[in-house]
Structure 1
Amino acid sequence: MPREMVEASNHEDHHTKPITSSSPSYPNTHSDTLLPPRRSFVARNRKLILIGAVILTLGAVSALIALLVKKPWYKTSSSSSSSSDDHQNPANGEFTNSTFKGLQRFTDQSSVPVSSSIRCNDYTPPLDQPFLYGQQPIRGVNLGGWLLLEPFITPSVFEPFIAQGVIDEYSLTKLLGPEKAREHLDKHYANWVTEDTFKRLRDLGLNHVRIPLGFWALGELAADEPYVPDLSLDYLLQGLKWAAQYGLRVMVELHGAPGSQNGWNHSGKAGKIGWLDGTVEGDINGQRTIEYMKKLLKLLQGPGMEHVTPMFGILNEPAIFMLERNRTDKWYMQAFEEMRNITGAGRGPWGVLHDGFLGLSQWEGFMPNSDRLALDVHQYLIFDYNLIRLTRKDQAKFPCDVWSEDMQSSTAKFGPTLVGEFSSATNDCATYLNGIGVGSRWDGTFVSEEDRATGGEDAEEPACQPAKNGHIEGYCSCQQQNRVGYYTQEYRKFLSDFTQTQMDAFEQGMGWFYWNFKTETNALWSYFDGVEQGWIPKDANNRPGGCTALNRPIHARAVDDK
């Protein structure tokens, strides 16, 4: 992304003649005796006065320049989302833009200006009017890789340090130390998302954004938590102001918990789960997470916040399928109770729970009659060996036949259900997608966590099935699959079908958030690239394809009450 250096223009001093006095000295009027002539005060101190005048002039000019020079967040230029060179100087690996110098601290007194005259599009009410969830669909994207780092989204942030063992934000900040880590992240935050990001999202017909945030943004870190505190929180406030400026609503989500709720790098720390894992430390981290959630919610109660942040993600992707269900259920109930204690009944944002990879059917009847509670599921084909092996034709129609029914059923038996993440990808080839040094299922290089721990090799064969898709040359190569130039017109048509059938299916519930708004290296995970390359519609509200276009129209299905 191009980076603008904010520089003050050179100032040329204009010297004036020394101040002199041509008036005669006056006699002491209180005496009849004439005293010797005396120089005036100005004449006697002309050197000091001249120096003082110069200093005052320079100070005034500097203050004027400071007021006139634009802060970096007012820039409107934006780069292509598919080039890492825009995010990093390829010559030396160093970031090239100055950091934000005028960030406002995010406190419980912070406000977001909201105008009744601003709306993101004709299909969406202004921010000061309620969004009718369940009646009008969420159509949004994630601002992933911004305030919580992910190696596959921005490889350039990590690659200078991978040889030194960096695999996630924890190891990155630990390696760099407090000062260098803060500088490194500050430059990234200031450039990965700008005002122009929100403008582009508005122009594409979207109405929501989802912003992930790590717990460390809220400070009060333990000795073994080397993250950079506070800074990303201030950038969140700037993001909320930009969202309001373009009529977009925001779902703020706690994306990383103390100890890691899933052991994946996008929780902040890859490896072992240390959250509600049956240990004393895990229980402590669970309670700490609630305290961080409460602190974040209190910040979102300021003037205007209720309009800009009508949804709140309680915790992203806790790996409940690997934890004790009874313990995590109690945690969810406590977290939601604490949330409503802060907001009050009937007030504050919707609370959003993640399904924990148990499947939507496992949440039927959970916390019935709750005050604006929604369930979030993340739908991807690529992490399931059976689904990733389907033919392209079957993959394109799968959302119409299966996911649409899942959304309808969950809405009837749990309540409001949304898809917080999905993408156009039908393989897991994106660099570092599964983690640094892990490999891909697609080409058979994926090594499971268990095998990595024991030094074994994954027994799974490559997920790529060339016979099912016509033995296309390069089809099983991740290098080719990651290269937009390899994509044929036929493949682009498939990507368009698959993306739009997902949108149709997920709108059988509350709607969707695409993951992600952009990446440095893989177009299949970039909404901006998908639009530019033609497989994502330029207007999310007017889509030419979808289930009906594939002769797989979605019908309302009868849902039994058992």
Structure 2
Amino acid sequence: MFSVSVPLSLLLLCQLLLADTGQAAQQCHLALKKNSLTGGGVSSSGADSVPTTTTTTATGTSAATATASSSSSSATPSSTPFAYGKTPIRGVNLGGCLSLEPWITPSIFENTNNDAIVDEYTFGSMQDSATALSVLQNHWATWITEDDFAAIAAAGLNHVRIPVGYWSVPLTSADTNQSTSVEPYTPGMFDPGFLVGGSYHFFRSGAWPYLLKALNWAKQYDIHVILDLHGAPGSQNGFDNSGQRTSTTEWENSSANQTRTVDTIRYFAEQLGGLVDIIELLNEPATFLSDSYPATLRQYWQNGYSAIRAAGDTSNQVMIGDGFMGVDSWTDFMTYPGKCFALALQATFMLPQALPALSWIIIPELSRTFDEHISFACSSIADLSNFAKNNIWTVVGEWSTAPTDCTQWLNGRGVGARWDGTWYTPNTPLGSCAGWTGSYSNFSADYKTYWEVQVTMGESVQGWVYWTWKAENSDEWSYQKGLEGGWIPQDPTDRLYPNICSS
């Protein structure tokens, strides 16, 4: 299924430039556009709380309005349309906020004093629920704040991608005929959130109110939003970033889980259609898990797209992924000639955790020198651009300046790195992790060229989204630290090496 020799491997799953983001397996995301984008406005209250209300639309569905206070008198809600396909997407992921990842915030997991707590699923199932809720509420309230949105805007970025797990979406029996249980995740206390027919409806909110607050800040600072369903019921890949690190996934073989996922996407469109620009149907579905998975995924993409369009708001774009199959697998898929939308592809460089099947790809990619990474990236731009021009819009996503997998728990809590040979299956070390992760004070000037060549790739097509905005102990993954350390320019359009691919 994978071939690192395919020309279009530049930004696509193992073919793309895996190492260019410090990871070897990659995944692509495709975005579908229908009509021009128009964003809905949001109101600003003077309260510090995050109330959510709904209004009944002509179709009988409810649309959410987020209200949140603003400490900045200069920030005003904005719904400026974005010129997709003309203006490059320059974005950053808000990883580890509303959907936990141990390597981004290791302290949250270390403080449990339980090595068996390896993901958000076990975070809820293996400790007292009140303790889990208290920790998560503090994290949701403090990890990403209005100050972060102000800094993101000041850095010249125009998009954020917000990962959310299905367990934080307050579906009720009115929204799906499938189970609405989110156990053992920590969904939060019963909160009044929906005003319908003159009375408040109660639901377990989890991170949902914090999502609404973030969407309000995005509008205030004129930042466009990609809302990413990062984890589906049953887990679509078994990675901890799906909520559940497991070798037995239950999404691809369960029609009930797939239906609930479509209903979740529909809920996004109904409740948040005016507050987000792009809805991503599912993050990193792992089609290599079974022979039938690719066909299941293709059908889900179509069902999810139809659900969003049926919700009535035709302005939202829809983002799908290549499922680790490579870009060629999506040639002419859902292009619908003559219809009012286009397809966009976003490539991912994330290293899958606990994925022995891809080690033969990952390790050779990790072994590249900085110069080899740059050469490989440059040699792939022409093919990538040609693909984007003749097939679907292409956005380079989830990439970073990390050239190794040395970050603590990048491959999962308690799991070592391929780089130094401490991973699940011992391999010949490529070197010591000393100096490759942690504080940027030890980083070389090569990080500047590594940043710039990947931006050059992204802007040769329809844009890029960096992973991630911040991380507790991993400066090589942090856009925020990149700005501070100087390997990421204060203006993302600045070029220190404008001819980086010409030499």
Match of 2:333 in 1: 366
Match of 1:270 in 2: 245
Match of 2:236 in 1: 261
| Preserved contact between residue 258 and residue 274 of structure 1 (Cα < 8 Å) | no
SS of the residue 2:134 aligns to: helix
Match of 2:58 in 1: none
Query: In 2 relative to 1, CA 506–162 (structure 1 residues): closer, same or farther, beyond 3 Å?
Result: farther
| Preserved contact between residue 439 and residue 473 of structure 2 (Cα < 8 Å) | no
Match of 1:376 in 2: 346
Query: In 2 relative to 1, CA 484–141 (structure 1 residues): closer, same or farther, beyond 3 Å?
Result: same
- The residue identity in structure 1 corresponding to 2:90 is R
Q: 1:478 aligns with which of 421, 427, 433?
A: 433
CA offsets 1:211-233 (integer angstroms, 9 cap, x no match): 01010111354374333252311
CA offsets 1:189-220 (integer angstroms, 9 cap, x no match): 11101110001011111111110101011135
Q: 1:355 aligns with which of 293, 314, 322?
A: 322
Q: Does 1:411 align with 2:363?
A: no
Deviation at 1:357, TM superposition (A): 1.3
Provide the rounded CA distance (Å) in 2 between the counterparts of 1:360 and 1:411: 10
- The residue identity in structure 2 corresponding to 1:337 is S
Query: In 2 relative to 1, CA 316–380 (structure 1 residues): closer, same or farther, beyond 3 Å?
Result: closer
| Preserved contact between residue 127 and residue 247 of structure 1 (Cα < 8 Å) | yes
Deviation at 1:496, TM superposition (A): 0.5
CA offsets 1:283-330 (integer angstroms, 9 cap, x no match): 2111111111111221113xxx2xx52111111111123232112111
SS of the residue 2:109 aligns to: helix
- The residue identity in structure 2 corresponding to 1:421 is E
Deviation at 1:112, TM superposition (A): 5.8
- The residue identity in structure 2 corresponding to 1:309 is V
Q: 2:116 aligns with which of 153, 165, 178?
A: 165
Query: In 2 relative to 1, CA 485–231 (structure 1 residues): closer, same or farther, beyond 3 Å?
Result: closer
Provide the rounded CA distance (Å) in 2 between the counterparts of 1:409 and 1:275: 37
Provide the rounded CA distance (Å) in 1 between the counterparts of 2:122 and 2:300: 28
Task: Map 1:35-46 onto structure 2 (within 5 A).
Answer: none
SS of the residue 2:163 aligns to: strand
SS of the residue 1:519 aligns to: coil
- TM-score, normalised to structure 1, is 0.68
Q: Does 1:296 align with 2:251?
A: no
Segments of 5+ residues of structure 1 without an aligned counterpart are 1-99, 448-457, 465-475, 553-562
Q: Does 1:111 align with 2:80?
A: no
- The residue identity in structure 1 corresponding to 2:304 is A
Match of 1:66 in 2: none
Deviation at 1:101, TM superposition (A): 6.3
SS of the residue 1:211 aligns to: strand
Q: 2:365 aligns with which of 382, 387, 398?
A: 387
SS of the residue 1:339 aligns to: helix
| Preserved contact between residue 527 and residue 536 of structure 1 (Cα < 8 Å) | yes
Provide the rounded CA distance (Å) in 1 between the counterparts of 2:269 and 2:440: 45
Q: Does 1:312 align with 2:279?
A: yes
Deviation at 1:400, TM superposition (A): 1.8
CA offsets 1:161-194 (integer angstroms, 9 cap, x no match): 2535100000001123433222111100111011
Query: If each structure's helix is expressed as a fraction of its own residues, which one has the higher value?
Result: 1
Provide the rounded CA distance (Å) in 1 between the counterparts of 2:249 and 2:351: 28
- The residue identity in structure 1 corresponding to 2:268 is L
- TM-score, normalised to structure 2, is 0.76
- The residue identity in structure 2 corresponding to 1:422 is W
User: Comparing both chains, which one has the higher relative contact order based on Cα–Cα distances under 8 Å and sequence gaps of 6 or more?
Assistant: 2
Q: Does 1:237 align with 2:212?
A: yes
CA offsets 1:121-173 (integer angstroms, 9 cap, x no match): 9xxxx954421111110001001111000000001111122535100000001
Query: In 2 relative to 1, CA 159–357 (structure 1 residues): closer, same or farther, beyond 3 Å?
Result: same
Task: Map 1:39-58 onto structure 2 (within 5 A).
Answer: none
| Preserved contact between residue 419 and residue 512 of structure 1 (Cα < 8 Å) | yes
- Identical aligned pairs, as a percentage? 33
Provide the rounded CA distance (Å) in 2 between the counterparts of 1:218 and 1:230: 7
Q: 2:416 aligns with which of 429, 435, 439?
A: 439
CA offsets 1:441-480 (integer angstroms, 9 cap, x no match): 1000111xxxxxxxxxx25322x2xxxxxxxxxxx22243
Segments of 5+ residues of structure 2 without an aligned counterpart are 1-46, 55-61, 172-179, 188-203, 353-360
- The residue identity in structure 2 corresponding to 1:270 is R
Task: Map 1:542-561 onto structure 2 (within 5 A).
Answer: 542-545=494-497, 548-549=499-500, 551-552=502-503
Deviation at 1:265, TM superposition (A): 0.3
Q: 1:535 aligns with which of 484, 487, 491?
A: 487
Query: If each structure's strand is expressed as a fraction of its own residues, which one has the higher value?
Result: 2
Provide the rounded CA distance (Å) in 1 between the counterparts of 2:446 and 2:148: 27
Deviation at 1:510, TM superposition (A): 1.6
Structure 1 stretches of 4+ moved >4 Å:
380-383
Provide the rounded CA distance (Å) in 2 between the counterparts of 1:421 and 1:223: 27
Provide the rounded CA distance (Å) in 2 between the counterparts of 1:380 and 1:336: 25
Q: Does 1:102 align with 2:49?
A: yes
Greater displacement, 133-142 / 379-388:
379-388
CA offsets 1:38-85 (integer angstroms, 9 cap, x no match): xxxxxxxxxxxxxxxxxxxxxxxxxxxxxxxxxxxxxxxxxxxxxxxx
Deviation at 1:420, TM superposition (A): 2.5
SS of the residue 1:542 aligns to: coil
| Preserved contact between residue 170 and residue 208 of structure 2 (Cα < 8 Å) | no
Match of 1:335 in 2: 304
SS of the residue 1:180 aligns to: helix
- The residue identity in structure 2 corresponding to 1:300 is L
Deviation at 1:396, TM superposition (A): 2.4
Q: Does 1:287 align with 2:256?
A: no
CA offsets 1:367-423 (integer angstroms, 9 cap, x no match): 122634423220358972111111221112322222x23531331343112122100
Q: 1:520 aligns with which of 472, 480, 486?
A: 472
| Preserved contact between residue 476 and residue 482 of structure 2 (Cα < 8 Å) | yes
Provide the rounded CA distance (Å) in 1 between the counterparts of 2:319 and 2:147: 28
Query: In 2 relative to 1, CA 514–223 (structure 1 residues): closer, same or farther, beyond 3 Å?
Result: closer
Query: In 2 relative to 1, CA 328–258 (structure 1 residues): closer, same or farther, beyond 3 Å?
Result: same
SS of the residue 1:284 aligns to: helix
Root-mean-square deviation (CA), in Å? 2.6
Greater displacement, 520-529 / 173-182:
173-182
- Between Structure 1 and Structure 2, how many residues are aligned? 408
Match of 1:423 in 2: 400
Which protein shows a greater Rg?
1
SS of the residue 1:258 aligns to: coil
